[in-house]
Structure 1
Amino acid sequence: MPTLHCVFQSSDPESPTFKASKLNAASRIPSLMDTELSDLALSRKPSNKHVPVTEDELDLPGYKEPSSQNCLGRTRAFLQRHPWLMGWNHEDWWPCWIGLFLFFLVSVSVHYSIEGAHFQPWTSNPFDSLHTRPNLGLIVLAPLQGLLVFLAVYATGAKNWREFYKGFMVIYALSFLSKWLASQKNIKSASIGDSIWAILFGTLLRNIMTGGSTPSTSGTTPGAAAQSRPLPGWLKVAQQTELYIAISLVLLCIDVAVLRPLAPRALFVSWVDTPTLFIFVAIMGSAWLRIDLQTAIIMSGATFICGSSAAIALSSSLAAGSKADLPIAIISVFTIPSIIALPYIAKAIGISAQVAGAWFGGCIDSTGAVIAAAAIYGDPGNVAVETSAVVKMVQNVLIGPISVGVAVAWTHREQRRRRAMRSSVPEELTERDTTIDNNDSSDAVRGRLSRTESSLSSLKPIPYRTLLWQRFPKFVLGFIMTAVLFNTVVPLKDRPKVNSFSFMVGEWFSTMSFVSIGLGLQFHELRREARMLLKLTTLYAAAQLVDILSTFGLAYVAFELF
């Protein structure tokens, strides 16, 4: 290691002082950077994309260019050499392809007067909810959704992709059961939606299949930490939480014609306080409640913007992995009191239907919950429903700019940390220590120095644009493209039906994502993370209270005074 000789007292490799100093530097640097490196490693989103064919590999004797007759082979090889042209083989882009393809099919179906499937409310006989002709479309929709997700799983090279169909059938069955139960009149009147049932069924299945925890095999120490039993591979491969929610977001159509009359006031209600409160609550959760910053940002965004969709978008921007699961579960459960209480409070204080609708749309998390609250309010002309839907639609648009802003800020933060950590390395190397550990051989020294080199190479700065593009949630582009196509290509008379049909298809993916979230929750892990659960619940309660009060003031000013 000639680059290290200059920083030690002796340049003689056999010198005891040289060995001791070299060993000390090698042992100190990894321990100094272990925490930071592990954070960086965990923050990186694992990629399942195929390794593209490089120019060097093309020159190898064993490589053969596909024949001119094999058009598919030539196309595949070309895309492998130039993966930036299309993201067909990367999980970040598949929500766009699936969402846009389904949007096209929905538009064609509406053109040919095909209606979307939906469960009718039922009282005592569950099969009453299926006695409608459009529900026959589920026979086509279910395998189509499974096929499209299978293509994404196959293209990204996911493990156990051959057994995907087994896991998807289970997840779809639980989603079907959740929607079926949620359509029961008494359950529906209590505002217990399909998301609650989906998380519950997924959690029960996970804990039944895995049977709790197993003792740690890393040692024989009594009371060693328990390890979670993993899901079977055939079910794990179908647990595509981010993919399902991202597809549902791409299918969320924004109708400019509906937004235009109320857009200025809806913007005032949705955009004035949301970014400020989002930043403030995220910082408060990190500084006051000692929640890690990524989870605090996800929790805050999910509370102030649009629930699970915002949580997944921010998780993608932060490369936070599964940190969105617990916030989504908390929001899904604790949204119910707001859905039930706010309409009665609005009636009690005597505010107008427009103010009430804007209030619901601005402070209740998900679109479905907003419509449910407005329906409970029940004004004769459905003014509250229309106003709440418009305000929520405008607020949903915030997903794009906020997720991009978070990606930019987090990328800057990571770059600063990398530069700071790398600049601190020479100072550690120049420290001298004359203590000799006679038990360490030269092989141990070389091993530790090798580890040091590996640590230093992992701190090599990544180009800013590259890192930002990796963090950018690609499905936001699909969301924007769907909105553009919806407002330019779809005929004006078909837009309400296309919007409703597309929302229905997206809700199926959303329900499957809630089942997947439930599959990631284990009772013994929740007990172990009870403190974190309490902190997140406290943060959500505080944020929701602030959101309710601030949104009420903005809604009153926008729709009552102007």
Structure 2
Amino acid sequence: MQDKKDKGSKLHEDWVVVILGALIIALSLGGLILAVPSFGWKTGAELAEKVLSPANLAIIGLQFLYVLPIALAGSWLCGKGIAGTLRTFPLVYLLTAVALVLSGNQAVKALNLEAVIFSLVIGLLIGNLFRLPGWFKAALSTELYVKIGLVLLGTTVIFSDILKAGSLGLLQALVVVLSVWYFAFWLCKKLKVDEEMSMMISSAVSICGVSAAIATSGAIKGDSKKLSYVISMVLITAIPMMIFMPYIAAWFNFPQAVTGAWLGGSIDTTGAVVASGTLVGEEALKISTIVKFSQNVLLGLAAFAISVYWTYNTKAPGADRTEKPTLGVIWERFPKFVLGFMAASLLFSFAVDAQTNALVKGSLKNLQGLWFALAFTSIGLETNFRELFAQNSRKPLYAFLIAQTFNIVITLAVAFVLFS
């Protein structure tokens, strides 16, 4: 993603994101809590009665009226003007709503196909089957939407919950995350994968899949096309892992605790972990959830560490590669949205009481997912499909698959040591 300050902009985009994220959180804590639309359905009758009912469509419409002014404010504060957003955002929202409906189907949920993959595919189809005008693509605010979602993601990373994950779960998460991240990064270097893609692949494989890839891309100002490719790999590989790993564990008679730790530490998406753990048994489900949660709570620390590393070691074009940047330069280039993420996490960890948190978390979680889905619809609309799966994209795929295999093996070994 490009993170350049637009000519004539009033504020840097990262500060705009912090402001808008804080506004959304303040509105929720102040009592403006949006009802969460229903997107779950199994049959055509359920689709018509629940998802497409007048009451649910009204909630979806109110949600649009809530996020539209925020998108307009973001465009205005970044100096892009609001005319383009007024013309493009309704279509982006409509396509995103279609993606959310499709991903709400029970059969689709069983395959663990998340809404972002439908948003991406719908955007890619329209963007590649129809010639979109230049002004339309220029008006899309992909990075703004991603970073708003990331700031809201901070409200779900509660420091006190780390204790609930358990000492063994945290220990496994630390060992696996560190070992798999460094192996994946080393492997990408060996295969000559570019550094942006290497960082995203390493984080996605080792930490928590989609969320880690998005957070890393935001931290390093990564290319949205590369991010969409990494997320596609994460979601596609999670399906066979979710299905076959429980049967492999049963074939070799792994203890349920070991199997749960293995599933939770190696499968990249939380939904797939839960589904896979359920196939094994109650103990496996409990352990897999604890281990996966332990990895998820490391996301904030990982994003911060990656941000510091990237700003310190990456030079501006044409800069002296041997000269280390000063603290002032590091601060100037440091992605400020990470501070918003951390502030949201600290706020909900230590200042917001449990009752208020329970009241607002559903609405904030829904908005977080919506902003991510809007971002991936935008990525699809501005991406050329042939470029996404071009010949030169095979090395990242090989790196991802090899790193994921290493992840499966090392996680199994650690699970046996800690949980057998």
Q: Is the pair's TM-score, using the shorter chain for normalization, greater than 0.5?
A: yes
Distance 2:247 2:232 in 1: 25
Equivalent in the alignment of 2:39: 119
Tell me how far 1:205 sits from its aligned partner: 0.5
Distance 2:72 2:149 in 1: 16
Alignment deviations for residues 143-177 of structure 1 (CA, whole Å, 9 cap, x no partner) = 2112112211111112x641212221122112111
Equivalent in the alignment of 1:453: none
Equivalent in the alignment of 1:543: 403
- Aligned residues of 2:176 and 2:265 also touching (Cα < 8 A): no
Tell me how far 1:407 sits from its aligned partner: 2.0
Alignment deviations for residues 86-141 of structure 1 (CA, whole Å, 9 cap, x no partner) = xxx1111222222222223334449x8x7533323322232234259677433322
- Which of these residues, 87, 92, 113, is aligned with residue 166 of structure 1? 87
Residue 47 of structure 1 pairs with residue 5 of structure 2: yes
Instruction: Give the partner amino acid of 1:245.
Output: V
Give the 3 Å change call, closer, same or farther, for CA 359–522 of structure 1 in structure 2: same
Instruction: Give the partner amino acid of 1:403.
Output: I
Instruction: Give the partner amino acid of 1:176.
Output: A
- Aligned residues of 1:313 and 1:473 also touching (Cα < 8 A): no
Alignment deviations for residues 200-247 of structure 1 (CA, whole Å, 9 cap, x no partner) = 11110101122xxxxxxxxxxxxxxxxxxx753134422x33222222
- Which of these residues, 199, 208, 232, is aligned with residue 306 of structure 1? 208
Distance 1:245 1:99 in 2: 11
SS of the aligned residue for 2:12 comes to: coil
Distance 1:478 1:352 in 2: 42
Distance 1:132 1:350 in 2: 51
Instruction: Give the partner amino acid of 2:67.
Output: Q
Distance 2:151 2:404 in 1: 26
Distance 1:164 1:378 in 2: 49
Give the 3 Å change call, closer, same or farther, for CA 196–415 of structure 1 in structure 2: closer
SS of the aligned residue for 1:199 comes to: helix
Distance 1:269 1:329 in 2: 26
Aligned residues: 415
* More displaced 10-residue stretch of structure 1: 163-172 or 351-360: 351-360
Alignment deviations for residues 492-537 of structure 1 (CA, whole Å, 9 cap, x no partner) = 234345333322211111112222222233233346x22x221111
Distance 1:156 1:524 in 2: 31
Equivalent in the alignment of 1:11: none
Give the 3 Å change call, closer, same or farther, for CA 389–149 of structure 1 in structure 2: farther
Tell me how far 1:343 sits from its aligned partner: 4.0
Give the 3 Å change call, closer, same or farther, for CA 385–106 of structure 1 in structure 2: farther
Alignment deviations for residues 440-467 of structure 1 (CA, whole Å, 9 cap, x no partner) = xxxxxxxxxxxxxxxxxxxxx7952233
- Aligned residues of 2:256 and 2:284 also touching (Cα < 8 A): no
SS of the aligned residue for 1:514 comes to: helix
Residue 402 of structure 1 pairs with residue 323 of structure 2: no
Equivalent in the alignment of 2:49: 128
Equivalent in the alignment of 1:200: 121
Equivalent in the alignment of 2:366: 504
Distance 1:510 1:502 in 2: 12
Equivalent in the alignment of 1:55: none
- Aligned residues of 1:191 and 1:336 also touching (Cα < 8 A): yes
Give the 3 Å change call, closer, same or farther, for CA 484–318 of structure 1 in structure 2: closer
Distance 2:90 2:27 in 1: 22
Structure-to-structure mapping, 1:48-197, within 5 angstroms = 48=6, 50=8, 89-109=11-31, 115-125=35-45, 126-130=47-51, 136-158=58-80, 161-197=82-118
Equivalent in the alignment of 1:247: 148
Equivalent in the alignment of 2:343: 481
Distance 1:171 1:365 in 2: 28
Q: TM-score, normalised by structure 2?
A: 0.85
- Aligned residues of 1:403 and 1:473 also touching (Cα < 8 A): no
Give the 3 Å change call, closer, same or farther, for CA 353–392 of structure 1 in structure 2: farther
Distance 1:416 1:205 in 2: 34
Give the 3 Å change call, closer, same or farther, for CA 472–499 of structure 1 in structure 2: same
Tell me how far 1:254 sits from its aligned partner: 1.9
SS of the aligned residue for 2:44 comes to: coil
Equivalent in the alignment of 1:29: none
Give the 3 Å change call, closer, same or farther, for CA 119–284 of structure 1 in structure 2: same
Structure-to-structure mapping, 1:363-382, within 5 angstroms = 363-374=266-277, 377=280, 379=282
Equivalent in the alignment of 2:199: 297
Equivalent in the alignment of 1:518: 380
- Aligned residues of 2:274 and 2:285 also touching (Cα < 8 A): no
Give the 3 Å change call, closer, same or farther, for CA 121–259 of structure 1 in structure 2: farther
Structure-to-structure mapping, 1:300-449, within 5 angstroms = 300-322=202-224, 323-351=226-254, 355-374=258-277, 377=280, 379=282, 383-384=286-287, 386-388=289-291, 390-411=293-314, 414=315, 418-419=319-320
- Which of these residues, 401, 415, 418, is aligned with residue 555 of structure 1? 415
- Aligned residues of 1:248 and 1:506 also touching (Cα < 8 A): yes
Equivalent in the alignment of 2:331: 469
Distance 1:394 1:335 in 2: 20
Give the 3 Å change call, closer, same or farther, for CA 96–339 of structure 1 in structure 2: farther
Distance 1:155 1:368 in 2: 36
Structure 1 portions without partners, runs of 5+: 1-42, 52-79, 81-88, 211-229, 422-460
- Aligned residues of 1:367 and 1:392 also touching (Cα < 8 A): no
Tell me how far 1:280 sits from its aligned partner: 2.9
Distance 2:73 2:281 in 1: 44
- Aligned residues of 2:312 and 2:330 also touching (Cα < 8 A): no
Alignment deviations for residues 332-382 of structure 1 (CA, whole Å, 9 cap, x no partner) = 333332233334444555555554444333323344444444455563896
- Aligned residues of 2:205 and 2:403 also touching (Cα < 8 A): yes
**CA-based RMSD:** 3.3
Distance 2:338 2:332 in 1: 13
- Aligned residues of 1:305 and 1:398 also touching (Cα < 8 A): no
- Aligned residues of 1:116 and 1:135 also touching (Cα < 8 A): no
Distance 1:169 1:542 in 2: 41
Distance 1:245 1:354 in 2: 36
Instruction: Give the partner amino acid of 2:12.
Output: H
